[in-house]
């Protein structure tokens, strides 16, 4: 019986190795030195596969393919999360952007994520989710001072609420919501211990309220009242007079 | 040939001697003692499993007994499936719409960070009455970027999206926030 299980295990392992090798060693870039470094660092095989597909499709030159893999090896060694960069590469390739224009965009992102890492390190609050949130916010144009201020002020808060507040701050800043108003909302949320996960996307209430002519000051007041009582963004919407259908519907109409 | 003959004669003599020997009754308990002295040999787990699994069996049933048994099996499967899928909230449905009153586009798909920017599973349907391309996708909570891909080559941002940002490649990605199963119309 044990022999049978051992045989099955060895066979499965061999099959996985063969499959993995067929994925990784399929294209022209895959056998390069950069690909070896990327693999050694633990970067997923999907990056190599994507780059190879780009080379095959003609949107990536072989030289750029190797440069892309060298880039991923670098961010891997720097300890930056590879997922946002993989997503940007996939976006560029899907939009048929030539590799010569993808690489500078990735390098800009690299600087923004490295800055995000530094801001969080200075506040002793580094974790993968926060790096991704902050890096994404910087990439979408949120001023660095907003995040520096947030980390300095709330870096000692409980981790989950810290990340919820960070996401809320980033999204509200992307929507042009005044940071002083955001600060008031955060202060109330942390004090009442009520900054739960739905508050990450409070920006959705803000966008809908603006469409209805409700100003940001009134929105911030309603949010503070809701947070003080342990409420949710849905309570803010109700307080501002949104219809029950708006709150309970299951579709977002775009 | 000469060696075989004395041997055969010896065999015959021995056989004859045995045949003419008087019958003797074995002592009481002899068979029991012999059997007790034999070490029992237990087959391996694999041999027993093989024997068990390859031994043919007969099953008899009547329709009167079969129907309730099947009903119980179906009920158990149904309860199991419901308990696995029913308790988990399904991701909210998000409807994407692009107005095209003159039906100038031949095909429209929505591509975004939720589908790796691939159009394969996000082709939109055109409603002639309303002049709108639509598709509904089930998206888990999160923030997403997306664009419409018209006729397989032209990238168009969502004109009704309240937020968008530069994608770095010369386009503007529309931004979408999806919360949990509550407040989806916000």
Is residue B19's pLDDT more than 60? yes
Spans of chain A below 70 pLDDT: 1-35, 37-38, 42-43, 243-254
Q: What is the mean pLDDT of chain B?
A: 84
Determine contact: B47 vs chain A, CB below 8 A.
no
- DSSP for A199-230? GGGTHHHHHHHHHTT--HHHHHHHHHHHHHTT
Contact A198 B182 (CB under 8 A): yes
Give the per-residue pLDDT at A115. Answer: 96
pLDDT of residue B29: 85
Closest CA to B99 of B129, B58, B139, B67: B129
Question: What is this model's ipTM?
Answer: 0.77
Quote helix, strand, coil % in chain A, to nearest 5.
Answer: 75, 0, 25
Q: Using CB atoms, pick whichever of A91, A105, A140 lies closest to residue B165.
A: A140
B180 vs A contacts (CB less than 8 Å):
197-198
Kindly report the CA angle at A78 between B146 and A81, in degrees rounded to 5?
30
Measured between CB atoms, does B135 come within 8 Å of chain A?
A: no
pLDDT > 90 fraction of chain B, expressed in percent and rounded: 35
Predicted pLDDT of residue A2: 52
> Which of A4, A108, A201 is closest, CB to CB, to B177?
A201
Chain B residues inside the 8 Å CB shell of A90: 116-117
Q: Is the distance from CB of A60 to CB of A81 less than 8 angstroms?
A: no
- For residue B147, the cross-strand partners are B111
Please answer yes or no on whether A253 and B181 come within 8 Å at the CB atom: no
What the block records as the tokens of A25 is 């060693």
More confident residue, B122 or B50: B122
Q: Characterize the bridge pairing of strands A251-253 and B93-99.
A: parallel
Residue B67 predicted with pLDDT over 80: yes
Q: A22: left (phi > 0), else alpha (psi -120 to 50), else beta?
A: alpha
Interface test with A, best of B170, B175, B185 (most A CBs within 10 A): B185
Alpha-carbon gap: B99 to the closest alpha carbon of chain A (Å): 10
Tell me whether residues A198 and B186 touch, CB distance under 8 A.
no
- Residue A4 confidence (pLDDT): 52
Q: Which residues of B touch A204 (CB under 8 A)?
A: 177, 179, 183, 186
Nearest to A134 by CA among A149, A121, A120: A120
Contact A201 B93 (CB under 8 A): no
Of A220 and B27, the structure prediction assigns the larger pLDDT to: A220
Q: What is the pLDDT of residue A203?
A: 93
C-alpha R_g of chain A = 23
Asked which of A207-221, B67-81, B132-146 is least confident by mean pLDDT, the reply is B67-81
User: What per-residue confidence (pLDDT) applies to B55?
Assistant: 83
Q: How much is the pLDDT for A28?
A: 56
Secondary structure of chain B in HEC code, one letter for each residue: CCCHHHHHHHHHHHHHHHHHCCCCCCCCCHHHHHHHHCCCCCCCHHHHHHHHHHCCCCCCCCHHHHHHHHHHHHHHHHHHHHHHHCCCCCCCEEEEEEECCCCCCCCEEEEECCCCCCCCCCECEEECCCCEEEEEEECCCEEEEEEEEECCCEEECCCCCCCEEECCCCCEEEEEEECCCCCCCC
- List chain B residues with CB under 8 Å of A241: none
- Among the partner-chain residues B49, B97, B168, the one whose CB lies closest to the CB of A105 is B168
């Amino acid at each position: 019986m044990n022999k049978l299980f051992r045989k099955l295990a060895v066979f499965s392992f061999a099959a996985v190795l063969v499959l993995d090798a067929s994925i990784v060693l399929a294209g022209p870039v895959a056998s390069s030195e950069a690909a070896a470094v990327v693999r050694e660092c633990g970067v997923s095989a999907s990056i190599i596969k994507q780059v190879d597909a780009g080379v095959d499709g003609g949107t990536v030159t072989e030289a750029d393919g190797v440069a892309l893999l060298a880039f991923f090896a670098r961010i891997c060694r720097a300890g930056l999360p590879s997922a946002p960069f993989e997503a940007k590469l996939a976006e560029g390739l899907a939009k048929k952007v030539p590799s010569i224009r993808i690489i500078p965009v990735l390098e800009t992102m690299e600087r923004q994520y490295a800055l995000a890492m530094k801001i969080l390190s200075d506040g002793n609050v580094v974790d993968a989710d926060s790096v991704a949130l902050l890096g994404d916010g910087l990439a979408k144009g949120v001023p660095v001072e907003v995040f520096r201020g947030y980390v300095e002020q709330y870096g000692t808060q409980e981790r989950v609420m810290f990340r919820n507040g960070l996401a809320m701050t980033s999204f509200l800043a992307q929507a042009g919501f005044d940071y002083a108003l955001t600060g008031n909302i955060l202060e109330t949320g942390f004090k009442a211990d009520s900054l739960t996960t739905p508050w990450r996307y409070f920006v959705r209430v803000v966008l809908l309220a603006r469409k209805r002519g409700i100003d940001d000051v009134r929105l911030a007041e309603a949010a503070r009242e809701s947070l003080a009582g342990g409420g949710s963004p849905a309570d803010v919407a109700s307080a501002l007079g949104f219809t029950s259908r708006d709150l309970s519907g299951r579709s977002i109409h775009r | 040939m000469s060696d075989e003959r004395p041997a055969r004669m010896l065999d015959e003599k021995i056989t004859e001697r045995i045949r003419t020997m008087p019958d003797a009754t074995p002592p009481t308990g002899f068979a029991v003692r012999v059997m007790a002295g034999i070490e029992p040999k237990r087959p391996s787990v694999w041999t027993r499993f093989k024997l068990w699994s390859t031994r043919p069996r007969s099953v008899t049933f009547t329709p009167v007994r079969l129907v309730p048994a099947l009903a119980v099996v179906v009920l158990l499967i149904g309860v199991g499936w419901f308990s696995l899928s029913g308790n988990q909230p399904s991701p909210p449905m998000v409807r994407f719409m692009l107005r095209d009153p003159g039906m100038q586009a031949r095909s429209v798909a929505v591509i975004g960070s939720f589908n790796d920017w691939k159009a394969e599973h996000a082709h939109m349907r055109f409603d002639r009455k309303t002049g709108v391309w639509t598709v509904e996708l089930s998206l888990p909570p999160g923030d997403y970027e997306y664009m419409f891909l018209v006729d397989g080559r032209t990238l168009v941002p969502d004109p009704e999206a309240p937020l968008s940002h530069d994608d770095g490649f010369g386009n503007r990605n529309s931004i979408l926030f999806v919360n949990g199963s509550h407040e989806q119309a916000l």
